Amino acid sequence: MKNVIWWIGVKNPDHAEKYGNFEYFEYSKKSWQFWCKRNNCEFVEFSQPVEPDMKEYRINWQKILFVFDELDRRGIDYNQICLVDSSSIIKWNTPNFFELSDNKFCGVRDADNLNWIYQSIQGYKELFDNFELDITRYISSGFMVFNKSHKTLINGLKQFYIDNKDTFIELQDVKVKKGNDQTPINYWLQKHDVEMQQLPLPFKLTHLHRKDMLQYNWQLKENTIPYFIKHGYIWFFNGIPKDQRSDLMKQTWNMIKENYDYIYENVNDILDETQHKDVAKYTTSRKFKKAVLDEFYRPYYKDKIVLELGTSQGRSTKMLSDIFGTVYTVDHDDWNIEQAKKHCQDKTNINFIKHDLYQDEWSFPKPDVVFIDAGHQYHQVKMDIENSLKHFGDVTFIFDDYGLPPGEVRKAILEFVDSGKLKLNRFIGETPETLVHAGGTKFIDKEGCMCNLKEVI
């Protein structure tokens, strides 16, 4: 079973002019198809209505009422489902939000137009027996994650809509005029006391123009990346005039499209080329390596330099050679270097350097990224960070064995984070609960982390 992206892309001919002939579907669809490939999810397109009368059964309603019917009809064996509107573009390296769901019904809080939300809540209140809706738990219906356990809940909503269809249409068109499905879905979830999880705001950035997120930091003259691309994961182009949506999404796509142009299926081939921590203790896990690929395996880094401190037997080195233009890898042990050269013999962009990081003077070429996985004592990790900052300045760091007991790697990293010399961006790899170590070592924290990630497109 795979997790499913249920992408809503129905073209209503009556609204073609209003929505710029739905040209923006193309950019949304490409981004979500790419994200599915990199996260081993199934992209399922909802492009033909189940009910042909799209006034009685508007697409806003059909997308949720018939999701389970359609997946079953198509023979798709699913785990979790993410319903997402086609007004969105997902950033190429967005984390896998399915891993954050805890198998609950998930959404992102909607607080962009509180007056609209308040009027909508009041307008639908009588239909839901004057239930007191908690506005702090009010979510957007354009991005929701749920699973098979919610099938009865949603089928109940479908029957409720069918039984009260005329009332819904009157409320939508005459009395309330504040949306279609969103507020009723919130009423339904809260009335049935559904355990919910709110995902962080970056997973649904919307009303971008109202928040000045289409702008960039003009003080950083060399960096004109708009705020929404820097700080968001999924961008929703609503709240703007609908006939401008296609143009704005096209501009965005042209700015970022090269990050989606390569074939991500290559990633599994790269991961399959080498061993991982479950069978080779002196390397990283498959999940760790995939996180590195997720962040760096794109055109921007194809001519960049990575410096690996701690070659070991070259398993991570081989992966790095598929990402970066040039790899410099350092180890003090002759046997390690010999084994690494054998393992990486088909790669031509790796430079092996014999060097004692803690005795010899550093004279390495300046890298863009430093992968620290050498000595694991506190003073060794500290020296690696200090020397990297001293010789290379502002570089990006990848750290392995953050959670290795007794915690000396973690202590050194956090010391630099606390001092402001490093910014801890994200943890990567396995957790203590999931890490399978060939040597039997039980970790006390996350497997690894990344620091000082650059804002690049």
Name which of 13-27, 71-85, 167-181, 385-399 the model is least confident about. 13-27
Q: What is the mean pLDDT of residues 325-346?
A: 96
Q: Look up the CATH number of domain 266-451.
A: 3.40.50.150
Give the pLDDT of residue 261. Answer: 73
In this prediction, residue 262 has a pLDDT band, given cuts at 50, 70 and 90, of: low
Give the pLDDT of residue 269. Answer: 85
In the block, residue with structure tokens 């019917």: 69
- pLDDT tens digit sequence for 229-238: 999 999 999 8
> How far apart (Å, rounded) are the C-alpha atoms in residues 330 and 340?
11
Give the pLDDT of residue 265. Answer: 63
User: Mean of the per-residue pLDDT values for the chain?
Assistant: 94
Name which of 17-21, 128-132, 143-147, 245-249 the model is least confident about. 17-21
- Where b means 16+ CB within 10 Å and e means fewer, 120-154 reads bbebbbebbeeeebeeeebbbbbbbbbbeebbeeb
Q: Say which CATH class 2-260 falls into.
A: alpha beta
The interaxial angle of helices 408-419 and 378-392, nearest 10 deg, is 40
- Cβ atoms of 83 and 147 within 8 Å: the answer is no
List the domain boundaries for the chain.
2-260, 266-451
Coil/strand/helix, residue 47: coil
- Amino acid 393 reads G
Q: What is the pTM of this model?
A: 0.82
- pLDDT of 1 > 90? The answer is no
Give the pLDDT of residue 21. Answer: 82
Share of the chain above pLDDT 70, in %: 99
- pLDDT tens digit sequence for 363-389: 999 999 999 999 999 999 999 999 999
- Please indicate whether residue 240 or residue 332 has the higher confidence score (pLDDT): 332
- pLDDT tens digit sequence for 87-141: 999 999 898 999 999 999 999 999 888 999 999 999 999 999 999 999 999 999 9
Number of Cβ within 10 Å of residue 115's Cβ equals 8
In this prediction, residue 264 has a pLDDT band, given cuts at 50, 70 and 90, of: low
